[in-house]
Amino acid sequence: MSTGTIPQTDKKEGFSLRQLIPNDVGQLPVVAALIVISVYFQFDSKGLFLTPRNLNNLVLQFVTIAIIGLGATLVLLIGEIDLSLSAVSAFCGAVTVTTSVNDHFPAWEAIIAGLLVGAVVGLINGSLVALLRVPSFIVTLAALIGYTGFLLHILLPVTDIHLFDPFINGLTSNYLPNSLGFGLPIVGVGIYAAFLIYGQIARRNRGLATIPTWQLGLQIGLVVLLTAGALYVFENYLGVPYVAVILVGLTTLVWIVTRFTTFGRHVYAVGGNAEAARRVGINVTLVRISIFTLASTLAAVAGILEASRTASAFAQVDSTLLLNAIAAAVIGGISLFGGRGSVWGVLLGALVIEGLLNGLVLQGRNADVQEMVEAVVLILAVIVDAVLRRRPGS
C-alpha cells in the first residue's frame, strides 16, 4: 500500500572528486605540466633551461618524436596500434641516405624515394589489418622485426653511412631568413584562427553545440602569445629553423584534415564505434588503410629529418623512439581507446617528454633516472585518460 511519500533518492548524492573535473579538460593538464616543468628546471638550472640556445636545441631534439607521434595519433584515433613506426622511420631514412650516397640520386629524388617506401609500408600494414582482419598488434610487430632486418640489409656491409648532400643536411641545420621567419608564423596563426572561426560558424549554422565566443578568443589569443614567445626565442639565437616550420606545417595539415573534413569525421567515428560507423555507410576498410598509410608516411618524414640531423644512417632502431612517440600522444590527450583527442596535444606531449629529459640532462642525471621519471609521467597520463573516459559526460 502506497504511503504517498515522495522518494528522496535524487536529493543528495555522495561527493565524488571527479565532480570537480570538467567533462572536457582538453590540453589543460599537459599545459599545466609544461609550466611546472619549465619553472622547476629554470630555477634549478639557474636560468639555463629557458635560454634561447637550449630551447632551440630542445626543438631540434623533439621533432622526430613529435612527427612519429602524429602518425601514432592517427592510428590511435581509429582504435588501432602501430608498433612498426620507429623501424619504418629508420628504414626510410636509410633509404634516402643510401639512394643519395650510393646511387647518387639528387636530393629531391632521394627524399621522394624515402617517402614512397614509407607509404608502401603503411599500405601493406593497413591492408593486412583492414582486409584480412589480422590484429594490428601482430601485423605491426612483425613489421617492426621485418623492417629492422631490411634496415640492416640495405646498409650492408657497413653499419652506418654518412650523408653529404647539403640540401638534405640543411633541413635541420639551416634557418629561415628574417622576413620569412616573421612572415610564415603570422600566416600560420591567421590560418589557424580562420579555421577555428569557420568551424564555429559552421557548427552554429547546423544547430550544433559551440564554445562561447570568449573561449574562442582566448584560444586564439593563447596561440598568438605562444607564437610570439617562440619567435622571440628563435630570433634571439639563430632564427627560425626549417625543421620547426616543417613540424608545425605537418601538424596544421593533419589538424585540418582530421577536424574539418569528411574523412576526419570518419576517422573519429571509426575510432568511437567501428560497427556503428559501418552501419551508417562509412567505408571503414578504406579509412583504416588510409590511416596506416599516412602514419607510415609521417614516420618516413621523421626518419629523413633524423638522418638530416645526424648526417648519417645507422643500422640500429632506437628502442625508445616508438615508446616516446606513443607516450607523447597519450600525454597530449589522445585516448588509447580511440575516437578522442587533438593532434595539437601531441606537440605538447612531445615537449613534456623532451623537456623532462633535457632538464634531467642539465641536472647531470643518468639514463636510469630519465627513464624512471618518464615512466611515472606516462602512467599518470594513462590514469587521467582512464578516469576521464569513465565520466558520464566525457
Average pLDDT of span 348-359: 87
Residue 211: domain span: 175-240
Indicate whether 16 pLDDT > 90.
Answer: no
- Residue 91 falls inside a structural domain: yes
Question: 379 and 248 in one domain?
Answer: yes
What is the domain-level CATH number for residue 357? 1.10.3470
Which residues of 206-291 form beta strands (DSSP E)? none
Query: Would the pLDDT of 49 be above 90?
Result: no
Domain final residue, candidates 205, 221, 240 = 240
Check whether 100 has a pLDDT greater than 90.
yes
Does the reported pTM lie above 0.75? yes
Distance CA 34, CA 356 (A): 9
Which amino acid, 48? Answer: L
What is the C-alpha separation between 107 and 97, in angstroms, rounded? 9
How many angstroms separate the CA atoms of 71 and 79, rounded? 13
pLDDT of residue 20: 38
Round to whole Å and give the CA distance between 123 and 131.
Answer: 11
In this structure, are 81 and 37 located in the same domain? yes
Condensed to tens digits (0 to 9), the pLDDT of residues 104-157 reads 999 999 999 999 999 999 999 999 999 999 999 999 999 999 999 999 999 988
Same domain, 151 and 252: yes
Residue 229: per-residue pLDDT: 83
Last residue of a domain, one of 189, 211, 240: 240
Q: Which of 5-14, 227-236, 259-268, 340-349 has the lowest mean pLDDT?
A: 5-14
Instruction: Tell me whether residue 10 is in a domain.
Output: no
More confident position, 190 or 392? 190
Q: How confident is the model at residue 48 (pLDDT cuts 50, 70, 90)?
A: confident
Q: Indicate whether 148 and 44 sit together in one domain.
A: yes
Kindly report the average pLDDT of the chain as a whole number. Answer: 85
Question: 296 with 265, same domain?
Answer: yes
Instruction: Evaluate if residue 308 carries a pLDDT over 80.
Output: yes
The confidence score (pLDDT) of residue 65 equals 92
For the chain, give the number of residues: 394
Tell me: do 92 and 218 sit in the same domain. Answer: no
Rounded-to-integer distance, Cα 361 and Cα 367, Å: 9
The string of DSSP letters for 152-167 reads HHHHTT-SEEE---HH
276 and 152 in a common domain: yes
Residue 301 banded pLDDT, cuts 50, 70, 90: very high
Q: How confident is the model at residue 389 (pLDDT cuts 50, 70, 90)?
A: low
pLDDT given at position 388: 63
Q: How confident is the model at residue 386 (pLDDT cuts 50, 70, 90)?
A: low
Where residue 291 falls among pLDDT bands split at 50, 70, 90?
very high
- Domain-embedded: residue 149: yes
pLDDT tier for residue 390 given thresholds of 50, 70 and 90: low
In a domain, 6, yes or no: no
CA angle 137, 344, 24 (to 5 degrees): 90
The pLDDT assigned to 181 comes to 82
Q: What is the C-alpha to C-alpha distance for residues 15 and 21, in angstroms, rounded to an integer? A: 13
**Least-confidence region, from 20-29, 176-185, 300-309:** 20-29
Grid coordinates belonging to 44: 634549478
Q: What is the pLDDT of residues 320-350, one digit of tens each?
A: 888 889 888 888 888 777 778 888 888 888 8
Say how many domains are in the chain.
2
